[in-house]
Amino acid sequence: MADGLPGWTRVCATAELLPGEMRVAWDGDTPILVVNHEGDLYAMEDRCSHEDFELSAGAFDPEHATIECVLHGARFDVRDGRPLCPPAYEPVVRFPVKVVDGAVWTRDDRG
Task: Give the pLDDT confidence of 89-102 residue by residue, as tens digits.
Answer: 999 999 999 999 99
Q: Is residue 3 in a domain? A: no
* pLDDT of 73 over the 70 cut: yes
Q: The domain containing residue 20 runs over which residues? A: 9-106
The pLDDT score that the predictor gives to residue 11 is: 97
Strand partners, 25: 32
Per-residue pLDDT band for 111 (boundaries 50, 70, 90) equals confident
For residue 99, is it within any domain? yes
- 27 backbone φψ class: left, alpha, beta (φ>0; ψ -120 to 50): beta
- Confirm whether 92 is domain-assigned: yes
Question: Has residue 4 been placed in a domain?
Answer: no
Q: pLDDT tens digits, residue range 32-68?
A: 999 999 999 999 999 999 999 999 999 999 999 999 9
Nearest to 19 by CA among 68, 62, 56, 61: 62
Distance of CA 22 to the CA centre of its chain: 7
Q: Are 54 and 70 in contact (CB under 8 A)?
A: no
pLDDT over 50 (residue 1): no
Residue 59 placed within a domain: yes
Domain count, the chain: 1
C-alpha distances (whole Å) from 56 to each of 8, 33, 67 are 20, 7, 8
**CA 63, 77, 88 angle in degrees (round to 5)?**
130
pTM of the model: 0.94
What CATH number corresponds to the domain at position 73?
A: 2.102.10.10
Backbone angles phi, psi at 14, to 5 degrees: -60, -30
